Structure 1
Amino acid sequence: MRTTLKILGVKIDILDLTGAVNRVIEFTKQDSAARPALIVTPNSEMLALASSDQELFNILNSAQLATADGIGVVIAARIMGQQLPERVAGFDLMQQLLANSASGERSFYFLGSKPGVVDQAVNNLQEHYPDLNISGYHHGYLNQENTAEVLQEINQQQPDLLLVGMGAPLQEKFLAANLSRLKVKAAFTVGGSFDVIAGQVNRAPRWMQKAGLEWLYRLLQEPSRLGRMMALPYFVYLVLKNRFIK
């Protein structure tokens, strides 16, 4: 049975990483005729955006699994008088799913990132997991023509898990528009994860991840993210307003 709490009106699953992995694996066992499950990983920035983007808000709440991707979401739950077991980052969830599927138990399709980057990500994964079942991949720079081709290829391959890394909210809106037409068991939004796997972007050291400072590490790597980071204090303001101002 699904147990959730709400942050700014968006449902977040009360699960640790192991629980989230098990939930996704259950999705991949469902009947092929069932509607594909949507898996999203809201962070503070996305939740702040959803507060003023009704379409994104509705998409996040339509998901069958929404994990707390960011220490800000965990802290927000505490402010609201609730508790999340831990932060469940989308990248960590994806890594665990890939490791649990290393013998080919489940098939994957990778969609997203720049041309060439997703190719390198797939190559790196195949070196690390030689038996990983990757049914296909394509970059995320889509137009009307190649979107139709990609959707057709996905439906021909019928992967268990479709991983979409286009960044928020593009990836969520892409799936909202197309998921009902796709022959997959589940679709999972993974943001910039392909860039990390391809070696284009470094992830924060483990101690910074545990300290909730991964956002700072990313900002130091990519100063152009400063404008996006302004969503964080706005998120804090929204949470405090929601908690204390009725």
Structure 2
Amino acid sequence: MRKLIKILDVNIDQANMEQSVERIKELIFDHEKSSLVVTPNSEMIAMAAEDIELARILNSADLATADGIGVVIASKILGQPLPERVAGFDLISSLFKEFAEEDINFYFLGSKPGIVDRAVENLKRDYPNLNIAGYHHGYIDYDDQQKIIEEINSKNIDLLLVGMGVPLQEKFLDSNLKKLKVGAAVTVGGSFDVLAGEVNRAPLWMQKAALEWFYRLLQEPSRFGRMLSLPKFIFLVLKSKYLE
């Protein structure tokens, strides 16, 4: 039985990392449908407050983890504290470890041409027995989509990781998940860039101190505009609690 909280009308699972991995294991073996896993952060939830379609997609997911300290802070403000942040990159890293020696097939879809290739190379080095059945970059048109769907459906994929950025990845899966024969599809944002070594994660101490956003800003100053979504998000959460 899922335990959910609502943050700006977006459902978030009250689950820690271990529980999230267990939930995905359950979804993989649910052969009745292809399941959806999303990883909303504060920017996504603020976006969903203005994008009804995105909000609907996020709320249709079979698992929604709290990707970002802002979401955890919001849960505390609302008096329903989440157990911990379950960042998308950390979640898929846990899945790689969990399934490194298992007969579980992965497919990677997303990022720029060449980036996902390097991500796969690095993963094969770190997890030689991980079953990566296929991959493709995310710069695709309608005809490409149909070919990729056919390829995925021919490979018995258990976990499809989609990293196209928000909201493209969510809307892509909303349009195509019923056509896909996969155990579960997970939205992973820019995780392929990190796996490929294009972007570095913050040192562990900064992650624990909730300063990963600042580290990303130092690496990519162009993200400054996007960072403004965090104070906007907190304002909306406070408004939802005290003014509505």
For this structure pair, what is the TM-score category when the shorter chain's length is used for normalisation?
A: over 0.9
Measure the CA separation in 1 of the matches of 2:229 and 2:72: 16
State which drifts further: 53-62 or 218-227.
218-227
2:15 is equivalent to residue 15 of structure 1: yes
Deviations 1:67-86 (A, max 9, x none): 00001000101101111000
Q: Secondary structure at the match of 1:226?
A: helix
Q: Trace 1:1-246 onto structure 2 (pairs within 5 A).
A: 1-31=1-31, 34-246=32-244
Query: Could you say what secondary structure the match of 1:187 adopts?
Result: strand
Question: In 2, Cα distance between the equivalents of 1:30 and 1:148?
Answer: 24
Secondary structure of the residue aligned to 1:77 is helix
CA distance in 2, matches of 1:239, 1:144: 38
Q: Secondary structure at the match of 1:104?
A: coil
Letter in 1 for 2:41: N
- For 2:182, what is the secondary structure of its paired residue? coil
How many residue pairs were aligned?
Answer: 244
Query: Please, what TM-score do these two structures have when normalized by structure 1?
Result: 0.98
Distance 2:111 2:14 in 1: 29
- The amino acid across from 1:99 in the alignment is K
The amino acid that maps onto 1:151 is I
1:201 to partner: Cα distance: 0.4
3-state SS, counterpart of residue 88 of structure 1:
coil
Secondary structure of residue in 2 paired with 1:30: coil
What is the distance in 2 between the residues matched to 1:83 and 1:196?
29
Task: Name the aligned partner's letter for residue 19 of structure 2.
Answer: G
* Cα separation, 2, equivalents of 1:75 and 1:11: 15
SS of match in other structure, 1:109: strand
SS at match of 2:216: helix
Q: Give 1:231 shift.
A: 1.1
RMSD: 0.7
* Structure 2 residue identity aligned to 1:18: E
C-alpha distance in structure 2 between counterparts of 1:199 and 1:20, whole Å: 26
In the alignment, the residues of structure 2 paired with residue 30 and residue 46 of structure 1 have an alpha-carbon distance, to the nearest angstrom, of: 27
Q: What secondary structure does 1:160 align onto?
A: strand
Aligned counterparts of 2:108 and 2:43: Cα–Cα separation in 1 = 24
1:47-93 Cα distance to aligned partner (Å, 9 max, x none): 00000000000000000000000010001011011110000001001
Quick one: distance in 2 between partners of 1:144 and 1:65?
27
Runs of 4+ in 1 over 6 A off after TM superposition: none
C-alpha separation in 2, matches of 1:77 and 1:118: 34
The 2-side partners of 1:83 and 1:105 are apart by 36
Deviation at 1:42? 0.4
Counterpart of 1:140, as a letter, is G
SS across alignment from 1:141: coil
Q: Distance in 2 between matches of 1:119 and 1:127?
A: 13
